[in-house]
Structure 1
């Protein structure tokens, strides 16, 4: 047995099968312990993004005697809702009001500015809580794995998104926007978000919560053409119709498609599910359909363009020998073997080069290990689990992208997290967690953090930050102007 599993099992020694003296009740088909047979159940959630809040929400609703503490590395909550959702999609951020209600719940506490794995270990959390749920998401970038990927002018989409959304670690990114053509590798929703932000009229972005620093840079941008490249075909594109429609209707832009890449697509539509059929029909109409007069005139007047490029895989990012930065991308031309989502891109041997001065890699996020004692699958970049139960670690759970990989939208994460919370509740009710003895919860973690010089940020502290960001935003006609520096956040939280 590995030393890390021994450590974890010691931490979980009290979280073993417990059956003596148990009484159960049945309410609406759910087995619950009587209040007299259990101590106050203490659960901690690591990560204050959608997965963390949805997990907490379901636990609080389903268990009337559970106390949930949420630990977050940054002073500010909400994770990808704050730092990942495009600024021109404010409707998606409405879930923040639900998360706020959860954080204000009488049996929930928020502890920001606590870096689990550094300020406090997972083993220490498991000593203090009956159950620990890891929900810290996917903050790593997947590598394309081609020469030139580290050149100046190549940025992972996650970092570029973090830059315009005010993620402190990306606030100083300063991407070079002094080129005419940008290439985005990947065709998911994030890729289209990036393309849209690069090409959107600044007057539209001024009304969003995009950071002023990014807005100023985009106002000076020379980017007029964005190509969004995918290794497979139109029937395998990973974006949804909403994001594609936004590109089609983006003011002052026109589509730039290659008609030959859509050969045979119309004939294949009869065999695809309705959502993909609608998405593909929109692509076909955009690429091949003669535009109506109004649309024709709009395209004719457009000063910017965007295009989807299919059947292309990156081989190399090319450097400008005089300046050491991106000058282009060499692409392999592919053909498909198989059909539908199971098809594979196979190189034909043909190669083409696209000149560009900016490359954004949008091939997916990945989770990173948080603590040596936690099992981690480096190939899948997830914590190995069964329905959220971490394998070989009683009392330890995971939810969100750490559990499944970076798939789906916020609603997917919600259902994923509810399922993990249900697993915790099932284990409590089945006696698989020892909740008969008291656990200190945050009162056991607080002294450790104090001893290590860590001062957590409470939710009321966050609301001070929120109030200041809103005030700054209103002064500029925006919903908010985000604080970009952690030290400034902490200073505001403690005023």
Structure 2
């Protein structure tokens, strides 16, 4: 049986470049790379060489014969991307010549001209920053200084990944390796705007690469969001991961029901942690303060409420599979799936989500505490006077109130303006063209503050590669005699 990409997939495409037979897609050259929920191995082409296993930074690729029960669905998930089912050995017509050529693996060309030492400042040390540093350090004349305001590096890969997703967190080993390069310096507890100004960075360095991410939440535009007992899911993630900004963000877990508005991967992460076996969490990197609070929790149900139907679910298929087949207790009321069907659905990922949700809905309601996924619920208002007592939802022309003492909003991230740089308020990004900051020579962006909050940890690799290529090209073009 061929190799299989599983839930931990970070999408950084290292496996694509390692594969000798071009069986892993989408590649960075293909139009759906930026929106794919994971990468997929074609079982008809895979030769079981194992090159992808060695290349994967998060251990997401497993030989098919070694898959455990929790990962068994990924056999079909990989095969379905290519139009057939591996497990049933049923082969549908597959057009084999549609693929683009395997992206070439070229050694980076040395920058000609420019200063003897190319000194680059990177603001932030999250995934986009570290992937950019890795690419820059392939140039022997480049020196990189990373300015990180926190006391620990690596941003969302440290403080944004759920503590029980231990495989995904392995990407920090890759970043540790980058950080050991002799030509990089990481300055912790150093905030641009407080300890050093942007103008000072521009004067000191050949170029500045801003990789500050999208650190705030999109606001939920309904009455009552300012009530006590309403907070962002992001703050909960920061709290249980020990983020210094969210040490005091611990929620009141004395309520029996928590309502999460939004159903992306962050919403599922928070719901899973709030209902998890605390003893199992004790063996993870979870904050000890959060662990103590969870031991005293009175939460019996976490409702993850989506505005649209299951065909528009924001969570990814890998996350849903992990939730359904892992240790989480999850349930869907069959009434919420009335009318949902895979008939006429061309996208195999959407069809697989609907099918799995239907399967979950046929299970017995699990023991408490459990997660309930619900759909077609549009939040109208948060009820309560001083603190939240419920959420008023509109559903199919009527309204109802779901009682709760804790409401978590999880409807996306947003970038914030950076003094001295042009900001696109519509997209929540620093205005740029392919990473070059608009009307600001020598300043570049990468990551979510460049493209908006989309993609996964590994998506930043190709994104940062584009920015770095443009940065180095500009330095070369500006050299005398060029």
Return the TM-score normalized by structure 2.
Answer: 0.74
Out of 432, 437, 453, the position equivalent to 1:406 is: 453
Superposed displacement of residue 242, structure 1: 2.4
Distance in structure 1 (CA, Å) of the matches to 2:107 and 2:164: 44
Residue deviations 1:184-221 (CA, integer Å, cap 9, x gap): 00110000000000100111111111011101111111
Q: Verify: 1:379 aligned to 2:426, yes or no.
A: yes
Which structure has greater helix proportion? 1
The answer for the alignment partner of 1:305 in structure 2 is: 370
Superimposed CA distance per residue, residues 210-251 of structure 1 (whole angstroms, 9 cap, x where no aligned partner):
011101111111111111111111111111122212332454
Matched residue, 2:126: 49
Structure 1 residue matching 2:186: 3-state secondary structure: strand
In the TM superposition, residue 313 of structure 1 has moved relative to its aligned partner by: 1.5
Q: Are the structure 2 counterparts of residues 69 and 227 from structure 1 closer, same or farther at C-alpha, using a change threshold of 3 Å?
A: same
Match of residue 161 from structure 2: 85
Taking a change above 3 Å as real, the CA distance of residues 430 and 245 of structure 1, as seen in their structure-2 partners, is same
Q: Within the alignment, does 1:282 sit opposite 2:356 as a pair?
A: yes
Aligned to 1:200: 276
Deviations 1:105-148 (A, max 9, x none): 11111111111122211111111111100001111121102111
1:356-402 CA-partner distances (Å, limit 9, x unpaired): 1111100111111232x111112211001111110111111000010
For structure 1, list consecutive stretches of 5 or more residues without a partner in the other structure.
1-26, 334-347, 437-495
Q: Which structure 2 residues correspond to residues 40-189 of structure 1 after superposition, within 5 A?
A: 40-61=117-138, 63-189=139-265
8 Å CA contact retained: 1:43, 1:69: yes
The equivalent of 1:424 in structure 2 is 471
The whole-number CA distance in structure 2 between the counterparts of 1:280 and 1:120 is: 51
Distance across 2 between alignment mates of 1:353 and 1:156: 20
Residues 41 and 435 of structure 1 are in contact (CA less than 8 Å); yes or no, is this contact kept in structure 2?
no
Q: Which residue of 1 aligns with 2:388?
A: 326
User: In structure 2, the residue corresponding to 1:255 is in which secondary structure?
Assistant: strand
Output the CA distance in 2 between the equivalents of 1:309 and 1:277.
18
Q: 1:357 aligns with which of 381, 402, 405?
A: 405
**What CA distance in whole angstroms lies between the structure 1 residues aligned with 2:292 and 2:180?**
36
Relative to structure 1, the CA distance from residue 435 to residue 385 in structure 2 (aligned partners, 3 Å threshold; closer, same or farther) is: farther
Matched, 1:229 2:276: no
Distance 2:430 2:399 in 1: 38
Q: CA deviation at 1:80?
A: 0.7
- Counterpart Cα distance in 1 of 2:179 and 2:110: 25
Counterpart Cα distance in 1 of 2:435 and 2:450? 6
Mapping for residues 408-487 of structure 1, pairs under 5 Å: 408-431=455-478
Pick which of 237-246 and 123-132 moved more: 237-246
TM (norm. structure 1) is 0.73
1:33 Cα offset (Å): 4.2
* Aligned: 1:314 with 2:379: yes
Distance between the aligned counterparts of 2:231 and 2:334, measured in 1? 26
Counterpart contact for 1:256–1:305, Cα < 8 Å? no
8 Å contact 2:162–2:241 — kept in the other structure?
yes
Instruction: Summarize the alignment of residues 200-219 of structure 1 with structure 2, pairs less than 5 Å apart.
Output: 200-219=276-295
User: Structure 1, residues 449-483: CA drift from partner, whole Å, max 9, x if none?
Assistant: xxxxxxxxxxxxxxxxxxxxxxxxxxxxxxxxxxx
Provide the rounded CA distance (Å) in 2 between the counterparts of 1:131 and 1:263. Answer: 55
The structure that has the greater radius of gyration is 1
**Structure 2 runs not aligned, ≥5 long:** 1-104
Residues 230-269 of structure 1 mapped to structure 2, 5 A cutoff: 230-251=306-327, 253-269=329-345
Q: Is residue 266 of structure 2 the alignment partner of residue 190 of structure 1?
A: yes
Equivalent-residue separation in structure 2 for 1:69 and 1:262 (angstroms): 55
Q: Bigger relative contact order, structure 1 or 2, given CA contacts below 8 A and separation 6+? A: 1
**SS of residue matched to 1:374:** coil
Pairwise CA distance, 1:280: 2.2
**CA drift at 1:55:** 0.6
Cα drift, residue 305 of structure 1: 2.6
Counterpart contact for 1:200–1:250, Cα < 8 Å: no
Contact (CA 8 Å) 2:233, 2:408: kept in 1 or not?
yes
The answer (yes or no) to whether the contact 2:302–2:371 under 8 Å persists in 1 is yes
Q: CA RMSD in A?
A: 2.1
**CA 1:102–1:314 in 2, change beyond 3 Å: closer, same or farther?**
same
